Amino acid sequence: MRLIIPDNYESLLGLKQTETALKLMKEHFEIGLSSEMRLRRVTAPLFVLAASGLNDNLRGIEEPIGFKIKDMRNMDAEVVQSLAKWKRMMLRDYDIETGNGIYTDMNALRPDEELDNLHSIYVDQWDWERAISREDRTIDYLKTVARQIYATIRRTEYYLFTLYPQLRPVLPQEMTFIHAEELYEMYPDLSAREREDKITEKYGAVFLMGIGADLPDGKPHDRRAPDYDDWTTETEKGFKGLNGDIIIWNSVLECACELTSMGIRVDHEELVRQLEITGDQERLELLFHRRLMDGELPSAIGGGIGQSRTAMVYLKKAHIGEVQSAIWPGEMVDHCRKCGIRLI
């Protein structure tokens, strides 16, 4: 059990205040995200058919929760882990124009997560997707969208401060951009997690790009599924990858905290290349992959913004269980209670 207990921790908001602040935060953030990014809200599925290939495979090692649907000839369904591929199909099915997009209030289950201060089996995200032109498939466009997301994050932080003055803003005005390979060259002897700690403590907020491709040591900074983010296209600096994570320094836990993962999506060429790298070519027979290969789906950029993770930062909480109702090991619950951390 991994658990960080801050010294002399005391929640700045009581339980009732926390619930009210969560509601206000989510309402304000959704409005800001929608207007900043030109996104239309749509209804999200809780589960999808396993044979559709729509479920997110994440790093490729997580096992989704599956069940059979009796009234559909016992077809296999899966609780979603995220909606990266489903959203891109919806851009086409909703006939979303280039430059506009959709977002959802996504709820997922990831039973293979290692539970700690920042990770829960229950995942709540604002999943979003925007239709773009092929000319927008560049690192500069990726950075522009990342700045829009970060601007929304900062505006909501200030909004909560106007309601609860004890929640003083801490996020820097500007976000620092760095590629995973550059970060590796800065700290070659550290693990990926330790490198994130170093760079976010230094700058407060970073957009770490190029996640999924191998670094000089032959390992990726972190793994990405091969069929949504483009992590193999080479940029003008010779680095690979058109994706990234917004990571901030969590001053309560004194560690790096990823708030959102996003990226320009694969086209048919990158899809084939990345499936070959991971040895998953059989996915080309699935519904999503067939539609992409047939040219039915638009070029796109998209990502997911962790609601509970972001709420932790805004409300200065020490554990994600203080802002969401989930299940935790008994020893974790007991230890947190003794240290003044009240899990919902």
What secondary structure does DSSP assign to 89-116, as a single string? HHHHHTTPPTT-EEEEEEEEE-TT---S
CA distances from 82 to 60, 105, 115, 302, 342 (A): 13, 11, 18, 12, 28
* Average pLDDT score, the chain: 94
100's CB contacts (< 8 A; 6+ apart) are: 38, 39, 40, 130, 131
Categorize the per-residue pLDDT at 60 as very low, low, confident or very high, splitting at 50, 70 and 90: low
In 3-state terms, what secondary structure has residue 208?
strand
Side-chain half-sphere CA neighbours of 287 within 13 A: 12
Percent pLDDT > 70 in the chain is: 98
Structural domains of the chain ordered from first start:
15-338 (3.30.930.10)
The residues assigned a catalytic role are 56, 110, 125, 245, 258, 261
Task: Using alpha carbons, select from 166, 193, 158, 136 the residue that is nearest to residue 17.
Answer: 166
- What integer is the mean pLDDT of 31-47? 95
pLDDT in tens, 173-229: 999 999 999 999 999 999 999 999 999 999 999 999 999 999 999 999 999 989 999
Percent pLDDT > 90 in the chain is: 86
- Check whether 80 has a pLDDT greater than 90: no
- Nearest-5° angle of CA 151, CA 157, CA 163? 140
Categorize the per-residue pLDDT at 336 as very low, low, confident or very high, splitting at 50, 70 and 90: very high
Categorize the per-residue pLDDT at 304 as very low, low, confident or very high, splitting at 50, 70 and 90: very high
Confidence (pTM): 0.94
What pLDDT shows up at residue 59?
59
Supply φ then ψ for residue 243, to 5 degrees.
-140, 175
- Check whether 236 has a pLDDT greater than 80: no
CA distances from 93 to 96, 146, 286 (A): 8, 26, 17
Two tokens, residue 214? 């191998």
What pLDDT shows up at residue 150?
98
- Check whether 335 has a pLDDT greater than 70: yes
Contact 248, 313 (CB under 8 A): yes
- Check whether 58 has a pLDDT greater than 70: no
What pLDDT shows up at residue 237?
77
- Check whether 274 has a pLDDT greater than 70: yes
Q: Quick one: CA torsion of 126, 315, 115, 264, rounded to 10 degrees? A: 30
Two tokens, residue 64? 């989704």
In 3-state terms, what secondary structure has residue 126?
strand
Categorize the per-residue pLDDT at 27 as very low, low, confident or very high, splitting at 50, 70 and 90: very high
Provide Rg for the chain, Cα atoms. 20
- Check whether 53 has a pLDDT greater than 70: yes
Two tokens, residue 251? 């001053």
For the chain, report the end-to-end CA distance as a whole number of angstroms. 19
What pLDDT shows up at residue 50?
86
pLDDT in tens, 84-139: 889 999 999 999 999 999 999 999 888 888 999 999 999 999 999 999 999 999 99
